[in-house]
Chains A and B, each alone.
Chain A
């Protein structure tokens, strides 16, 4: 194992700890929590809001791995996905597949235009 390899393992190990810390904290707090309906409803709201914010950011903002894809492509694909989702009686798989295929088709089309 060389030095870079070791420091990479260190980064990974610390990242894992930095992640697990939140889960650990959750389990510890929850086991001391009174079985209070309102409190856990609030936590569910916070969790949903965090996740929605995260997903919206992944889709809307031109950053990270999806930076190369124009916003309009992502929105069109997602729109088609939602339409199929509701047409097929709220079927998650159908909606996801439709969004994925639309996005793949648009991206491929752009790629071929460039080439």
Chain B
């Protein structure tokens, strides 16, 4: 994919080549991120088997949906025999977060001149773990390094996730129940730690508001509680951050 060296390293005095950025991404993923995805997809794999879907279904689901909450909803609704339309709606609502996530990360790729199908492919790889990592690392990175870094990071995560799905499916029923539960608990725990590392004021406020409103709105609508949470809590945090920003900048030209 990387056929030539970057002409100019826009923002950087660090002259990192794409191939180096690619390896850096892969190395960053090769640790807790890939391990968490591996383990939580093991949880998904064994859940998938309990819902009566075979190992190929499960692995293709991981590759195609590439977002654990939506995948879990799909197999859970399959298990209770929900109609296909309801499943599609449930999965879609669970994954509506990909819209604001994509919108938040794409501006970092401004000036990314590439074929449309590569953009479409990049979109498929937007999921929580690499996204959160990218949001933290992209600002300090040169333009030419971002996509290679993201690609390297994603490939390691996806490989771990697919192996995890396969293994979880194979070991379903063999794994003791406490271990399965712990594997499923691993992913919210990891995300909680990732979010605890967010330092920007707006992000911290959005996270806090979302965590408060999310479970509350669940009683209102199981499917749409989360997207609406994002809209309400996110907008509130943004407005509050903007207000503080203006207050701090008052009197300045």
Contacts and interface: CB of A to CB of B under 8 A. Distances in A.
Contacts of A59: 188, 192
A26 B84 contact: no
A53 B32 contact: no
A53 B214 contact: yes
A86 B197 CA distance: 9
A100 B189 contact: yes
Interface stretch (B4-12, B13-21, B97-105): B97-105
A22 B178 contact: no
A87 interface: no
A103 B182 contact: yes
A77 B227 CA distance: 27
A22 B92 contact: yes
Given A22-B102, A66-B181, A45 B188 contact: no
Interface in A52-73: 52-61, 64-66, 68-69
A96 B190 contact: yes
B98 A64 contact: no
Contacts of B213: 49, 53
Interface of B: 31-32, 36, 43, 47, 53-54, 57, 60-61, 64-67, 69-70, 72, 74, 76, 78, 84, 87-89, 91-92, 95-104, 106-107, 110, 119-120, 122-124, 126, 128, 131-132, 135, 176-179, 181-182, 184-198, 202-203, 205-215, 217-218, 225-227, 229-235, 237-238, 241-242
